Amino acid sequence: MIFDTHSHYDHPRFSEDRKALLSELPGAGIGGLVNIGATLKGTEASLQLAEQWPFIWAAAGVHPDDVKELETLGEKEAGERLGAYLAHPRCVAVGEIGLDYHGEDIYDNKTPRPLQKKWFDFQLTLMKETGKPGVIHSREAAADTLDIIKTAGGKDLALVHHCFGYEKEMARIYLDMGHFLGIGGVVSYKNGRKLKEVVQYMPLERILLETDCPYLAPEPFRGKRNDSRMLTKVVAEIARLKGLDEETVEQVTFENARRFYRLGPEEMIRGTLPG
């Protein structure tokens, strides 16, 4: 069984066939998934999916590109809104939160760095207060992300670095802190050399499988809409890189996900699909 630790099935690209696709996943070997919040609306949609499907769980948070909506609310109301989401029994993490400096010289509406940092720190504090693990988004912001995480507690934080895209040295720093790294379709790309090196270097016990669907479909589906079934290609590449059989990769990463998200035994999180 495979656990997809980072998905976005609330995305409009799934609007036409969402129910049919989700119905197929358990039969395709997907034993669990977490739908990740990127906005307040997306968090609400993630919770709704988790209420409808027993194998789906939710994370609540606001992506760095969208933290202007938290600024509009102000800290008091933002904290109350996010706190209510995090108290939901199907919510297992804070995320995705972090920093994204990509496209600062291209996009006029890019969130300024100070605002990103403010709300990253705010959501990390909320994570610590609620005792939930955190899902980190960091793109072209390695140094600032590390500084904020260190200040917030470093090794005392339960974090996964989603769609990890930095070099092996940065991976070592986070692995030494006891964090997990999210590995998805990029590991199968010909130009994914850095990530391949990271996967070869890191222990299998720190890998969390993820799609980030509908984005980042693995080869040979690159450029198409991604979904959890395509994680078999990621499993195959990890197995090849580490000289393991695919069943071992599935079993260990499933247990990693269950442990990170603090879920019960495997049989408790599969459940039965609604009729």
Q: Which of 14-23, 60-69, 99-108, 144-153 has the lowest mean pLDDT?
A: 99-108
Question: At residue 165, does pLDDT exceed 80?
Answer: yes
**In this model, does residue 83 exceed pLDDT 50?**
yes
Distance, in Å, from the CA atom of 245 to the CA atom of 267, rounded to the nearest integer, reads 23
The tokens for 62 are 């606001």
The pLDDT confidence band at residue 271, using thresholds 50, 70 and 90, is very low
pLDDT, tens only, 14-26: 999 999 999 999 9
- Tell me the average pLDDT of the chain: 95
Q: For 172-200, how does the pLDDT look when each residue is reduced to its tens digit (9 = 90+)?
A: 999 999 999 999 999 999 999 999 999 99
Q: How far is CA 79 from CA 62, 123, 167, in A?
A: 12, 9, 34
The domain locations on the chain are 2-265
Per-residue confidence (pLDDT) for residue 274, from 0 to 100: 38
**Looking up tokens 């996009």, which residue turns up?**
107
pTM: 0.95
Q: What is the pLDDT of residues 221-233, one digit of tens each?
A: 999 999 999 999 9
- Domain 2-265 sits in CATH 3.40.50.2020: no
Q: Which of 25, 12, 97, 33 is nearest to 60 (CA)?
A: 97
pLDDT score of 265 more than 80? no
Q: Which amino acid is at 47?
A: L
Q: Tokens 């995090």 belong to which residue?
A: 86
The secondary structure of 45-98 as a DSSP string is HHHHHHHH-TTEEEEE---GGGTHHHHHH-HHHHHHHHHHHHTSTTEEEEEEEE
